Amino acid sequence: MANTFPNDFLWGGAIAANQVEGAYNEDGKGLSTSDCTPNGLFGDIVDRNNVEINSIKDRAIDFYHRYPEDVALFAEMGFTCLRTSIAWTRIFPNGDEEQPNEKGLAFYDKLFDEMLKHNITPLVTLSHYEMPYYLVTQYGGWGNRKVIEFFTRYAKTVFERYKDKVKYWLTFNEINMSLHEPFTGVGLARNSSKAEIYQAIHHQLVASGRAVKLCHQIIPDAKIGNMLLGAIAYPLSPKPEDVWATHLENHGWLFFGDVQARGYYPTYMNRYFKENNIELTISDQDREDLKETIDFISFSYYMSCCGTADDSLRQKGNILDMVPNPHLKASEWGWQIDPIGIRYLLNLLYERFQKPLFIVENGLGAKDKLEADGTINDDYRINYMNDHLVQIREAINDGVEVMGYTSWGPIDLISASKAEVTKRYGFIYVDLNQDGSGTLQRYKKKSFYWYQSVISSKGANL
């Protein structure tokens, strides 16, 4: 069995605009849903048109101004790929304008040029946990069909603008999360009914299909994928009731991949919709749009969970309510660590879809200590990532086609769920405290050198 990864394997890291850029109101940018959730996607929703607040995300790690330094550090680690997202509100500040904001477009031109200068391939998410807040207040978010048109205009604009620079695209980050947090996912109130949420999701799936079609038309040599929160569940016990409950639990997220990879709704949803009084409005044109299937499947993987018929065992995780696995240890944030889970997930997805797979998020959020001599000894992170990469190599040897690996947060950033700075994921430490103080100076952690050697050895030294 090979102990190195394929020569064309893309190695790198993943960030998202709203978690790194800051500059939340510079150069014409509009307010996004992320700007209105200063304490993270589970925190309060604040109407910033009327209420003045300070949010740690307003400056974040100031990537908007410091990206040349950060991209150079990624290049020093040997990155061949960087996943980032475009903030929709930099391009269309309110979302419903006819013409884009040139200053916003110019920023991403500069960013992509900087990556290409260092031979780093951009992998760009069109929508990562943010949308124009105006579309929420004036149109009702994705619940309104008109948002499909606005998103399509935005997607077309960025495909046309960056067609020579960006050849790898993703539509919606963790598209299945809307079932758990509808405001961030589809711009709906948190107390929305299941029927309202699934209708909004339907609109988003249609928009995803349209983006795929446009991408193929405008950039024929590009590849565009979806993005799933890979929340694989194992049966808590061999009790048939638990096995069946687990099967249904996995449908909860596989459904999105089924639609995006096959081009139509899977029949198992018919019963679910009927039993939950959900009657979707689906036009003939919607069905046509859904037929535009993705080229590859991408997903995030942090942990696995368990499925059981006993709902009282659920515990609050980051995005999902999960049933913990008694055989696994957890991170400081209670996320259970399961490297074999990523091999299992890769095999499962490949057997189900027979499409190339891209791991676009994986990593360990932990508290790091900056020593007096400027070092950070994050062996726990090295161990976590090493063990996951070993299992990814196993999956490749199992015959799974894996395009690449972008670890989550190669530089410390603002966490999504609670806007914490102390939950650090990076190979690069950023001097920033939760109260917003700090020099923002960057320091290389021990894991920086470890990842550098993993990439240069193509994984042979794992």
Residues 365-384 that bind ligand BG6 (CB under 6 A): 365
For residue 18, the minimal CB distance to ligand BG6 (Å) is: 8
For residue 410, the minimal CB distance to ligand BG6 (Å) is: 12
Residues 281-300 that bind ligand BG6 (CB under 6 A): 300
- Considering the candidates 174, 181, 196, 292, report the single residue annotated as catalytic: 174
Select 166 or 229, whichever has its Cβ closest to ligand BG6: 229
Number of C-beta neighbours around residue 286 at 10 A? 18
Strand partners, 81: 12, 121
Q: Which residue in the set 258, 338, 361, 412 belongs to the binding site for ligand BG6 (CB under 6 A)?
A: 361
For residue 173, the minimal CB distance to ligand BG6 (Å) is: 5
Select 361 or 368, whichever has its Cβ closest to ligand BG6: 361
Distance CA 462, CA 457 (A): 9
Residues 299-328 that bind ligand BG6 (CB under 6 A): 300, 318-319
Tokens 């299937």 locate to: 293
User: Which one of the spans 184-192, 250-258, 280-288, 410-418 is the region binding ligand BG6 (CB under 6 A)?
Assistant: 410-418
- Catalytic-residue membership of 26: no
Residues 223-242 that bind ligand BG6 (CB under 6 A): 229
Q: Does 406 bind ligand BG6 (CB under 6 A)?
A: no
Q: Does 129 bind ligand BG6 (CB under 6 A)?
A: yes
For residue 129, the minimal CB distance to ligand BG6 (Å) is: 6
Q: Which residue in the set 286, 417, 429, 432 belongs to the binding site for ligand BG6 (CB under 6 A)?
A: 417
For residue 414, the minimal CB distance to ligand BG6 (Å) is: 8
Q: Does 16 bind ligand BG6 (CB under 6 A)?
A: yes
- Catalytic-residue membership of 371: no
Tokens 């018919």 locate to: 270
Select 59 or 423, whichever has its Cβ closest to ligand BG6: 423
Select 171 or 415, whichever has its Cβ closest to ligand BG6: 415
Per residue, what are the HEC states of the chain? CCCCCCCCCEEEEECCHHHHCCCCCCCCCCCECCCCCCCCCCCCCCCCCCCCCCCHHHCCCCHHHHHHHHHHHHHHHCCCEEEEECCHHHHCCCCCCCCCCHHHHHHHHHHHHHHHHCCCEEEEEEECCCCEHHHHHHHCHHHCCHHHHHHHHHHHHHHHHHCCCCCEEEEECCHHHHHCCHHHHHCCCCCCCHHHHHHHHHHHHHHHHHHHHHHHHHCCCCEEEEEEECCCEEECCCCHHHHHHHHHHHHHHHHHHHHHHHCCCCCHHHHHHHHCCCCCCCCHHHHHHHCCCCCEEEEECCCCEEECCCHHHCEECCCCEEECCCCCCECCCCCECCHHHHHHHHHHHHHHHCCCEEEEECCCCECCCCCCCCCCCCHHHHHHHHHHHHHHHHHHHHCCCEEEEEEECCECCCCCCCCCCCCECCCEEECCCCCCCCCCCEEECHHHHHHHHHHHCCCCCC
x/- site string to ligand BG6, residues 148 to 187, per CB under 6 A? -------------------------xx-------------
x/- site string to ligand BG6, residues 19 to 38, per CB under 6 A? x-------------------
For residue 256, the minimal CB distance to ligand BG6 (Å) is: 14
Select 121 or 415, whichever has its Cβ closest to ligand BG6: 415
x/- site string to ligand BG6, residues 87 to 126, per CB under 6 A? ----------------------------------------
Distance CA 336, CA 270 (A): 33
User: Which one of the spans 71-79, 205-213, 388-396, 408-416 is the region binding ligand BG6 (CB under 6 A)?
Assistant: 408-416
Q: In the chain, what is the straight-line distance between the N-terminal and C-terminal CA atoms, in Å?
A: 14
For residue 416, the minimal CB distance to ligand BG6 (Å) is: 4
> Interface residues with ligand BG6 (CB under 6 A)?
16, 19, 129, 173-174, 229, 300, 318-319, 361, 365, 408, 415-417, 423
Write out the catalytic residue numbers: 174, 361
